[in-house]
Amino acid sequence: KHNKKILFIILTAILLFISYYFFFTISLLTVIYFIYRYYVINKSLKDIFKNALILISYYFVGASITGVLIYPSFMYITSSDRLKDSFSLISMHPIKSYFNLVYGTFIPNYLYIYRQNIFETGNHVTREICLYSSGLTALLLPHFIKDKDEVYKKATIILYSVLFVMMLIPVFSFILHGFSDPSFRWLMFVIFMNIIVSCKVLDNIESIDDAFLKITLAFISVLLITIIFVTGILTNQLSDILSGSFNIQLFITFIFVIIYVIYYFLLINKKINLLLILLTIELGISGFTIFYTSMDKSEDGSYEFIYKVTHVLQDEEEGLNNFLNNIEPINCYEYYRVYIPHESLYWSYSHNLSVMYNLNGVMTYDSSYSPSINTLKDKVYEIRDFDSEWIFNIKNDYLLDFLNVKYAIVTNENELPKNGNYRLMTDNYRGFLVYRNDDYRPLGTTFNNVDYIENFDVKRINNIIYVNDDYYEELANINGNNNSFIENIVYKGNMLSGYVYSDTDSLMVVSLPYDQGWNIFVNGEKVKVYDVNGGFMSFKVFKGDNNIEMYFTPYGFKTGAIISFIGVILLLLIIVKEKKHK
**pLDDT tens, residue by residue, 358-397:** 889 999 887 677 888 889 999 999 999 888 777 899 999 9
- Highest mean pLDDT among 41-55, 166-180, 547-561 belongs to 547-561
Full DSSP string of 64-103: HHTHHHHHHHHHHHHHSSHHHHHGGG--PPPHHHHHHHHH
Residue 349 has pLDDT above 70, yes or no: yes
Residues of the chain with pLDDT > 90, as a percent, come to 65
Of 118-127, 307-316, 499-508, least confident by mean pLDDT is 118-127
440 by DSSP, 3-state: which? Answer: coil
- How many residues are listed for the chain in this entry? 582
Question: Do residues 96 and 231 make contact, with C-beta atoms less than 8 angstroms apart?
Answer: yes
Residue 581 has pLDDT above 80, yes or no: no
Q: Measure the CA–CA gap between 511 and 428, rounded to whole angstroms.
A: 31
- Residue 299 neighbours by CB under 8 Å, 6+ apart: 305
Q: What is the arithmetic mean of pLDDT over 65-87?
A: 78
pLDDT at 301: 57
Q: What residues form DSSP beta bridges with 495?
A: 492, 551
Q: What is the arithmetic mean of pLDDT over 121-129?
A: 79
Q: What is the arithmetic mean of pLDDT over 115-142?
A: 87
498 by DSSP, 3-state: which? Answer: strand
Residue 82 has pLDDT above 70, yes or no: no
Q: What is the arithmetic mean of pLDDT over 522-537?
A: 96
pLDDT digits (tens, 9 = 90+) for 405-436: 999 999 999 999 999 999 999 999 999 999 99
Question: Do residues 365 and 321 make contact, with C-beta atoms less than 8 angstroms apart?
Answer: no
pLDDT at 443: 95
Question: Do residues 178 and 24 make contact, with C-beta atoms less than 8 angstroms apart?
Answer: yes
Question: Do residues 76 and 554 make contact, with C-beta atoms less than 8 angstroms apart?
Answer: yes
Q: What is the arithmetic mean of pLDDT over 169-196?
A: 84
Question: Do residues 397 and 418 make contact, with C-beta atoms less than 8 angstroms apart?
Answer: yes
Confidence of residue 122 (pLDDT cuts 50, 70, 90): confident
User: Which strand (E) or helix (H) includes residue 569?
Assistant: helix 557-581
Residue 268 has pLDDT above 80, yes or no: yes
pLDDT at 287: 80
pLDDT at 294: 52
Q: What is the arithmetic mean of pLDDT over 314-330?
A: 92
Q: What is the arithmetic mean of pLDDT over 94-107?
A: 91
Q: What is the arithmetic mean of pLDDT over 239-262?
A: 94
Question: Do residues 400 and 417 make contact, with C-beta atoms less than 8 angstroms apart?
Answer: yes
pLDDT at 482: 84
User: Which strand (E) or helix (H) includes residue 540?
Assistant: strand 536-541
Confidence of residue 566 (pLDDT cuts 50, 70, 90): very high
Residue 300 has pLDDT above 80, yes or no: no
pLDDT digits (tens, 9 = 90+) for 211-242: 999 999 999 999 999 999 999 999 999 999 99
Q: Measure the CA–CA gap between 293 and 274, rounded to whole angstroms.
A: 28
Confidence of residue 351 (pLDDT cuts 50, 70, 90): confident
pLDDT at 73: 85
Structural domains in the chain?
93-144+182-297 (no CATH), 308-437 (no CATH), 444-557 (2.60.220)
CA distance readout (Å), 306 to 312, 351, 459? 10, 14, 38
Task: Give the residue from 463, 508, 455, 459 showing the smallest Cα distance to 486.
Answer: 508
pLDDT at 322: 93
Quote the DSSP letter at residue 428. E
Q: What is the mean pLDDT of the chain?
A: 89
- Residue 574 neighbours by CB under 8 Å, 6+ apart: 5, 6, 9, 58, 61
pLDDT digits (tens, 9 = 90+) for 133-143: 999 999 999 99
Question: Do residues 71 and 17 make contact, with C-beta atoms less than 8 angstroms apart?
Answer: no
Task: Give the residue from 364, 337, 330 showing the smallest Cα distance to 350.
Answer: 364
pLDDT at 560: 95
pLDDT at 182: 79
Residue 246 has pLDDT above 70, yes or no: yes
pLDDT at 506: 94
Residue 281 has pLDDT above 80, yes or no: yes
Residue 85 has pLDDT above 70, yes or no: no
pLDDT digits (tens, 9 = 90+) for 8-63: 899 899 988 887 777 878 888 888 999 999 999 999 999 999 889 988 999 999 99
What Rg value do the Cα atoms of the chain yield, rounded?
Answer: 30
Confidence of residue 89 (pLDDT cuts 50, 70, 90): low
Confidence of residue 302 (pLDDT cuts 50, 70, 90): low
pLDDT at 77: 75
Q: What is the arithmetic mean of pLDDT over 177-194?
A: 83
3-state percent breakdown (helix, strand, coil) of the chain, nearest 5: 55, 15, 30
